[in-house]
Amino acid sequence: MNRFTLCLLAAAAVSVRAIIVLSIGLALVGFPPFGGIAHAAVSHYTSEPGFRANASIASTETFDEFPRPSYPIRFYTYEIELDGVSYQTNKRLPDPGQAVWHIWDSPWSTVSAPGSLMTNAIGTHTISFGTGKRVGAIGFWFQSWNGDWDVLLNEANGAATLVSISHPLFIQYGPEYHGFTSDIGISSLSVSAVDRGHGVANWSYDEVSRSLVVVPEPSGLIVLLCSVSGLGGVLLKRRK
């Protein structure tokens, strides 16, 4: 007889109500003997229709709301926020007068004319949704000349998924789509330029789609603590 079975028998001997309270708490946090909710891995889509068919999209940023002919629109801060999405780069430019981010109208970098988001800071871009917030889906068109990139997705439970993108030298690639979904939520993703012999180059984002930005529900640990507190209350009442 394993220790888990012994614990159940001991709890049952104390109070049927106590074991009911504890069982509900364990089930809510996904404790294996009670089943819980299984978590699927991050899903990666390389077509926009496939992504949209499996994601509940709340908003799409096309970067087209800025007036022409004032392009490019320049941002001089290392972090900008558009449509509930924060874009931040860790690369620091040597010239403080140089724009970090651009809303660009170059035809090679744009999917939905006229605008797309580019940067001179070729390093790691972190895309997030606010402190403690997450989305169930995020997707975008990605465009560059050449280079290699690592896309790292961080889920709400701390799990990380790595996806690599590679463009050989001196070839202008058409835009390619990358969409991601998670049943527990994506808290952030980072796109990092990595030189694996193909060099590095500017890249752009267009049509960044996301699901609703939400605040996580109470963690499983909190639920479990509440259940244990309920068990304690039942035992205390019994003693009285």
Q: Give me the pLDDT at residue 79, please.
A: 96
| 180 and 234 both lie in a single domain | no
Q: What is the pLDDT of residues 46-59, one digit of tens each?
A: 999 999 999 999 99
Distances (CA, A) of 166 to 125, 162, 193: 17, 13, 10
Q: What is the pLDDT of residue 26?
A: 45
Mean pLDDT of 63-68: 82
One domain, residues 29 and 49: no
Same domain, 226 and 193: no
- Are 181 and 124 contained in the same domain? yes
Task: State which residues form the domain around 23.
Answer: 3-37+219-239
Query: Same domain for 233 and 145?
Result: no
Q: Which residues contact 131 (CB under 8 A, 6 or more apart)?
A: none
- CA 126 to chain CA centroid, Å, is 10
* Same domain assignment for residues 13 and 111: no
Cβ contact 48:55 at 8 Å: no
Q: Is 141 exposed, middle or buried (0-12, 13-18, 19+ CB in 10 A)?
A: buried
The pLDDT > 70 percentage for the chain reads 70
* Mean pLDDT, range 175-194, rounded to an integer: 95
Mean pLDDT of 25-50: 68
**131 shares its domain with 187:** yes
Residues 17 and 56 in one domain: no
Greater model confidence, 140 or 28:
140
Q: What is the pLDDT of residue 234?
A: 47
CATH number of the domain at 178, please: 2.60.120
Please check the confidence at residue 240 and state whether its pLDDT lies above 60.
no
Distance CA 28, CA 21 (A): 11
Q: Indicate whether 116 and 205 sit together in one domain.
A: yes
Residue 86 makes CB contacts below 8 A (sequence gap 6+) with: 79, 80, 126, 127, 128, 129, 130
In this structure, are 143 and 53 located in the same domain? yes
pLDDT band for 195, please (50, 70, 90 cuts): confident
Cα angle 40, 42, 43 (rounded to 5 degrees) comes to 100
Are residue 32 and residue 50 in the same domain, yes or no?
Answer: no
- Cα–Cα distance between 65 and 71 in angstroms, integer? 11
pLDDT at 163 over 80: yes
Token pair, residue 132, equals 């403690």
87 and 167, same domain (yes or no) = yes
The count of structural domains within the chain is 2
- Structure confidence by residue, pLDDT tens digits, 82-139: 999 999 999 999 888 889 999 988 777 788 888 899 988 899 999 999 999 999 999 9
